[in-house]
Amino acid sequence: MMNLHVNYVKKNGKKEFAVIPYEEFIELQEQLADYEDLRELRKAKANEADAPTVSLEEAKKRLNIK
């Protein structure tokens, strides 16, 4: 987990905005993209859990690869 250095902008005494350094923003975006990819991968794996499979050796035979 990354350590964020947050500064808050207040309005009427309440926190209105959170400001972080640009480098941390970029890293946070990358981590969110990785998380979204992981969720999609898990979803795809679950959808294909019962799909028929072929071993590497069988695939080579079918493709006539030695």
> Which pLDDT band holds residue 26 (cuts at 50, 70, 90)?
very high
Query: 14 has which bridge partners?
Result: 11
Q: What is the pLDDT of residues 37-57, one digit of tens each?
A: 999 999 999 999 999 999 999
Global pTM value: 0.65
- Would you list the DSSP string of 29-62? HHHHHHHHHHHHHHHHHHHTTTS----HHHHHHH
Given this model, what pLDDT does residue 1 score? 75
- The residues, ordered by sequence, that sit 6+ positions from 10 with a Cβ below 8 Å of its Cβ are 16
C-alpha 1/C-alpha 4 separation (Å) is 9
Task: Determine the pLDDT at residue 14.
Answer: 97
Residue 8 confidence (pLDDT) above 80: yes
